[in-house]
Structure 1
Amino acid sequence: MEHEPITVSIERTVDPARIGEATIWVQAGINLANKYPGFLGSGWVRAGETSDIWYMLYRFRDDETLLAWENSSERAWWLSSGKDFMQHRRSEKRTGIEGWFDAPFATSVSAAHGPGGPEATGTQVTVPLAPPRWKQAVSIWLGFFPVNLVFTFLVTWLVPGWETWGVLLHVLVSTLVLTPIMAYWVLPWVTRMLRPWLQAPSRSRGQLEA
């Protein structure tokens, strides 16, 4: 069974007087994570030149490899070494359809590549933005339409008197059954199949970045 990559995004505040230390600290964490199996990359960006808010992200192959890093003694030591100037605010883990929002805060970040990639220090990479809303809508429809169609045929065939249940019960049963199917199986599969199209830069975006 193929596992979905997991992206963790973290928001932290940094002591403005210790920006230099914070920059070195972040890079040290990236270098440590880079040694762990399943590491697919990491990056960070500041909210603004004068802001004390920093956004960071890292990605692992699956939940197992992510937990190995997050529960490691090296990461615990690294976190403790930055507690005097770096404070955690919030974090989120994203997989499947949520992976569209891997980098909600920037397009370019200082980053480290995973094993086998180029050297990380001082490099800049582009992190995919969320796809346009119309692409998200098309992807959801492509998953929902066939699933809903099959469900309707099956329930009409298998449940006596289904047509007499009324609209309210139809919608209630359909959503209770189809929501977990869409969230856990169909949408992750659809987004994986459509990933090159979802992440392809639009013409207007390409012109802005040129």
Structure 2
Amino acid sequence: MQRRPDPASTTPAHLTSAGEPVTVTVARDVRPDQREAFERWADEVLGLAAGFPGNLGASMLRPGPGSTRYHLVYRFADGESLARWERSSVRQTALTRVEHLSDGADYARVAGLDSFFTALTPPRPGPRWRLTVLTIAAVFAITLGFSLLVAPHVASWPLPLRLLLSATVVVVLLGQVLMPRLTRWFGPWLRGGR
């Protein structure tokens, strides 16, 4: 595998300026004789990331049978928090100690609505029903507001157009306005015990 450039110097501008949660997954092929050392390093760096301002969670996924690929997942409140972590001297120092343990790294990032459904991975995830309840409450608030404020003005429109407008309003407000704020405000509850 080819080594990818350090993401601190290549973070896309649209993610750095994102005002919504951003998730980074770092996949590393760890040398078989270095697994224990890598896991010790990963525990340390995940702890450092978890204590970093704006971090919403950090976790490690171990390789399955026959694989050497570990995944480290970091979730930050926004692109600015992620960029500060990636530029931090703490992270740079940690990266110098992992190079001899693995044969490269692949970085992937998602922001916004994608991160809610594909990468909500705090260290100890709370029950999924809590995210479901929060999502239902957000959709209910949006559809109620739409029904009271917009629907009366478009009642004469054909049904497919009204539904298209309603779906567009719900998805945009859910993904761009409400869920980023709600997951930040209710983060401790979402990650809490069962």
Same fold (TM over 0.5): yes
1:70 to 75, 83, 86: 86
The 2-side partners of 1:173 and 1:25 are apart by 50
**TM-score normalised by length of structure 1:** 0.59
Contact 1:103 1:130 in 2 (8 A): no
Structure with greater helix percent: 2
Could you tell me which runs of 5 or more consecutive residues in structure 2 were left unpaired when the two chains were aligned.
1-18
The 1-side partners of 2:41 and 2:78 are apart by 25
Instruction: Quote the residue 1:142 is aligned against.
Output: 137
Secondary structure at the aligned position of 2:155 is classed as: helix
Call closer, same or farther: CA 1:93–1:128 in 2, change over 3 Å: farther
What is the RMSD of the two structures over their aligned residues, measured on CA atoms? 3.9
Following superposition, the deviation at residue 147 of structure 1 comes to 1.4
Q: Which has the higher contact order (CA 8 A, sep 6+)?
A: 2
2:170 is aligned with what amino acid? Answer: L
Contact 2:30 2:103 in 1 (8 A): yes
Could you tell me which runs of 5 or more consecutive residues in structure 1 were left unpaired when the two chains were aligned.
105-126, 203-210
- 2:145 equivalent to 1:129: no
Call closer, same or farther: CA 1:142–1:39 in 2, change over 3 Å: closer
2:81 is aligned with what amino acid? Answer: T
Call closer, same or farther: CA 1:68–1:50 in 2, change over 3 Å: same
What percent of counterpart residues are identical? 28
Following superposition, the deviation at residue 64 of structure 1 comes to 1.9
Contact 1:102 1:128 in 2 (8 A): no
The 2-side partners of 1:61 and 1:181 are apart by 18
Call closer, same or farther: CA 1:153–1:200 in 2, change over 3 Å: same
- 2:194 equivalent to 1:199: no
193-202 vs 177-186, greater mean Cα deviation: 193-202
Bigger-Rg structure (1/2): 1
